[in-house]
A and B are shown apart, each in its own frame.
Chain A
Amino acid sequence: MRTARVLLIFALITGLVFFGVSCGGSTTSPTPTSSPSPTTSSPSPTPPAKDIIIGVVAPLTGDSATFGKSTQEGAELATAEWNAKGGINGSQIVLKIADDKSDPTEGAAGITRLIEQDKIVGEIGTVQSKVSLAIAPILQAKKIPMISPTSTNEKVTLVGDFIFRACFIDNFQGVVGAAFAYDNLKVTKAACLFDVGNDYTKGLAENFRDAFTKLGGTIVGFEAHPTGATDFNAQLTKIIAAGPELIYISDYYNDVGLICKQARALGYTGFFLGGDGWDSADLVKIGGDAVEGGFFTNHFSKDDTRPEVQAFVKDYTAKFGAPPDALAALAYDAANLMFDAISRAKSTDGTAIRDALKVANFKAVSGTIKFDANRNPIKAAVIIEIKGGQQTYKATVQP
């Protein structure tokens, strides 16, 4: 389900890298070079036995280096804050970091090193689902709890009962979208348009449809388009004729821009709503005025007014010199969840930490987190509105 998105992100990053190179090459050192050294420098001046060693696996080099950097920084900020408050029950937290290079094999090698050499008691990471799926079975076998901040593939936590995640799974966005449409926008008639060749957009649309119907709304149109389509007029004409007040578009930003434009040209005046596939500055470039007033669900917004978010944004910006993105926020949450569980378990035993995580009720940056039976978080999503061509925070929606 993630492959298409990973490919897209890869394509974007390749484009950016080329652009950076062509602009003078000054932008090509995104990762701190210190990252590989901590894993090898463990036999330093006898760490007191009571230190709590936590592993972080993230893609620090390669295609997704910016994801890895955000993840590492988020975890480091959480660690620094806990240590400043006196650590966990008097023990300091030490992070050991491994670079998975976005490669499942590298990830597996890295996690084995962290377990055997550094004796980690818990693990935070990694970013991509395909790599998380490679490291999860190793941690599960050793009964060491893992919290992936951003792997959205449903299968990751199904590996076993020691595997958790801090982000909601893709399908959840459809459910939150439906709640926002029905409760906040007071819409009762909605239609869906999605890419039939992409599990992500299809899954979102199906979940939106089911949740919206369950709330009492009516789905008046449920139309698909083939991957790579540019003309959506036929589907939109049919949808608009059915009179929806909202069209749920679970596509990626580039399709969304075209769809909104064509819908407005056909005289549609209702709402547009979508998922985190909308999250790109190019959405407004392609969609122009047509996407103005559109809403989408996302994990985190730095403009969220909750005090936890504002404190996090302030501290992060002070420490790293740039505002956090969603990856940093989720890594920060994953680390805090782990530390909170260890402090409540009053033990570094894997099973005890796992049991503490299962009953977590933690006020995180991305919402108050509890876990469901499959160790997926039950938490709020934020709604972003396109206003004046900018992404602005609109609301937080509880599931």
Chain B
Amino acid sequence: MDLTMFFQQLINGLQLGAIYALIALGYTMVYGIIRLINFAHADFLMVGAFAVYFFASFILTLTNAIPPIIIFILGLIVALVAGALIAELSNRLAYKPLRYKPRLSALITAVGVSMFLEYFFASLPFIGPSFRAFPDLIKPVSFVVGGVYLNTIQLLDIGLAIVLMILLTYIVNRTMMGKAMRAVSQDKDAAKLMGIDVERTITFVFLIGGALAGAAGILMAMTYPRIYPNMGILPGLKAFVAAVLGGIGNIPGAMVGGFLLGIAEIYATSFNSLLGEGIAFAILILVLLVRPQGLLGEKQSEKV
């Protein structure tokens, strides 16, 4: 592998990693606060992508006069709102009734919500199970730096992943709501006694988590412009691996895990095109063996 190819694959890895990182952020935050692995997270992503698809198709049939950047920003807002709404709806209908039941019940419910969303969307007449072409919100512009090809969508993916991680870290660590979230994560009952509205806090967690999924949805659809109801399954699984790799519950960890996994997958694929897919899962097993708490995760002592 010569140097140009090495750097080109690094860029490819960063792009793929940015997508994983964006999805992993939502996984890890919801887990960090309510200890629920929300398997439906990747399907919230799909909902976000379809919301933008319908929004953008509608706008583009009305007029071509709106500059692409405005459509993108409006699309991003649509994605955030759609993701947040579907997440909160799932919380209300599926997770809330099981809040004080064993954790396994909530986990199975998450799998159920995930499958429901996939099959329900596939059965809707105006969506259907087949592929849709996602419109170009922003025309990607390629440019070459020292023989390595970059494009605007890649930079957008990587940039937005970093911005959202910083924003999320700020919310969790520096705001009153963040403080409440951390309190709820430690002990729901004690938090309640301290006057924290636990349900309101959890709602907030789902709204933010869903919005993150929506953001991942629009970026994934722009990067890989083909959407369908099952589009979230595989990236969702790998993002989950990324979250565990970085230390589940740890926000910068999700970021690191996502990028590491993306880069590893690209280099492995480049080495042998059949290995790449398996690498994600091999890494998961290795990390669990050597460092069960993840790269940036802290060892948790059992609460007594």
A binding-site residues for B, Cβ under 8 Å = 11-12, 14-15, 18-19, 21-22, 196, 223-226, 228-231, 233-235, 237-238, 241, 254, 257-258, 261, 264-267, 282, 285-286, 288
Query: Among the listed stretches B21-29, B88-96, B266-274, which one makes contact with chain A, having 4 or more residues with CB under 8 Å of it?
Result: B266-274
Q: Is the CB of B140 within 8 A of A11?
A: no
Q: Is the CB of B5 within 8 A of A237?
A: yes
Q: Which residues from chain A contact B270 at a C-beta distance below 8 Å? A: 234-235, 237-238
Q: Is the CB of A266 within 8 A of B234?
A: no
Q: Which residues from chain A contact B9 at a C-beta distance below 8 Å? A: 233-234, 237
Q: How far is the CB of B42 from chain A (nearest CB, A)?
A: 13
A223–B268 Cα distance when bound, in Å, is 13
Q: 13 additional contacts, CB 8 Å, given A18-B125, A238-B270?
A: A196-B274, A228-B234, A230-B226, A233-B12, A233-B16, A234-B9, A234-B270, A234-B273, A257-B226, A265-B142, A266-B149, A267-B142, A282-B131
Q: Is the CB of B276 within 8 A of A265?
A: no
Q: How far is the CB of B235 from chain A (nearest CB, A)?
A: 8
A261–B225 Cα distance when bound, in Å, is 9
Q: How far is the CB of B5 from chain A (nearest CB, A)?
A: 5
Most buried by A among B130, B142, B231, B276: B130
A261–B153 Cα distance when bound, in Å, is 12
Query: Closest 3 CB pairs between A and B?
Result: A285-B133, A15-B128, A234-B269
User: A280's closest neighbor in chain B, by CB?
Assistant: B131
Q: Is B298 an interface residue (CB 8 A)?
A: no
A261–B266 Cα distance when bound, in Å, is 18
Q: Is B282 an interface residue (CB 8 A)?
A: no
User: B124's closest neighbor in chain A, by CB?
Assistant: A18
B binding-site residues for A, Cβ under 8 Å = 2, 4-5, 8-9, 12, 15-16, 125-126, 128-131, 133, 136, 140, 142, 144, 149, 151, 220, 224-226, 231, 234-235, 265-267, 269-270, 273-274, 276-277
Most buried by A among B5, B126, B133: B133
A231–B154 Cα distance when bound, in Å, is 12
What is the count of residue pairs linking A and B with beta-carbon distances less than 8 angstroms?
Answer: 94
Q: Which residues from chain B contact A233 at a C-beta distance below 8 Å? A: 9, 12, 15-16, 266
Chain B contact residues: helix, strand, loop or mixed: mixed
Most buried by B among A229, A231, A261, A285: A231
Q: Is the CB of B234 within 8 A of A231?
A: no
Q: Which residues from chain A contact B4 at a C-beta distance below 8 Å? A: 241
Q: Is the CB of B125 within 8 A of A288?
A: no
Q: Which residues from chain A contact B277 at a C-beta distance below 8 Å? A: 226, 229
Chain A contact residues: helix, strand, loop or mixed: helix
Q: Which residues from chain A contact B16 at a C-beta distance below 8 Å? A: 231, 233
Q: Which residues from chain B contact A223 at a C-beta distance below 8 Å? A: 273
Given contacts A223-B273, A224-B274, A258-B226, contact A238 B129 (CB under 8 A): no
Q: Is the CB of A282 within 8 A of B133?
A: yes
User: A222's closest neighbor in chain B, by CB?
Assistant: B273
Q: How far is the CB of B263 from chain A (nearest CB, A)?
A: 10
User: A239's closest neighbor in chain B, by CB?
Assistant: B273
User: B9's closest neighbor in chain A, by CB?
Assistant: A237
Q: How far is the CB of A220 from chain B (nearest CB, A)?
A: 14
Q: Which residues from chain B contact A226 at a C-beta distance below 8 Å? A: 274, 276-277
Q: Which residues from chain B contact A230 at a C-beta distance below 8 Å? A: 220, 224, 226, 231, 235
Q: Is the CB of A22 within 8 A of B126?
A: yes
Given contacts A265-B151, A286-B133, contact A14 B128 (CB under 8 A): yes
Most buried by A among B16, B125, B136, B144: B125
Q: Please name 5 pairs of A and B residues whose Cβ atoms are closer than 8 Å in the assembled complex, sorted by A.
A: A19-B125, A226-B276, A237-B12, A254-B131, A257-B226
Given contacts A254-B131, A265-B140, contact A234 B276 (CB under 8 A): yes
Q: How far is the CB of A191 from chain B (nearest CB, A)?
A: 12
Q: Is the CB of B151 within 8 A of A235?
A: no
Most buried by A among B15, B142, B226, B273: B273
User: B150's closest neighbor in chain A, by CB?
Assistant: A265
Q: Which residues from chain B contact A282 at a C-beta distance below 8 Å? A: 131, 133
* In-complex Cβ contact of B136 among A228, A266, A288 (8 A): A288
A246–B257 Cα distance when bound, in Å, is 36
Q: Which residues from chain B contact A234 at a C-beta distance below 8 Å? A: 9, 12, 265-267, 269-270, 273, 276
Q: Which residues from chain B contact A21 at a C-beta distance below 8 Å? A: 125
User: B277's closest neighbor in chain A, by CB?
Assistant: A226
Q: How far is the CB of B254 from chain A (nearest CB, A)?
A: 19
Q: Which residues from chain B contact A238 at a C-beta distance below 8 Å? A: 5, 270, 273
Q: Which residues from chain A contact B133 at a C-beta distance below 8 Å? A: 257, 282, 285-286
Q: How far is the CB of B139 from chain A (nearest CB, A)?
A: 9
Most buried by B among A224, A234, A266, A267: A234
Q: Which residues from chain A contact B235 at a C-beta distance below 8 Å? A: 230
Q: How far is the CB of B13 from chain A (nearest CB, A)?
A: 8
Q: Which residues from chain A contact B225 at a C-beta distance below 8 Å? A: 257-258, 261, 286
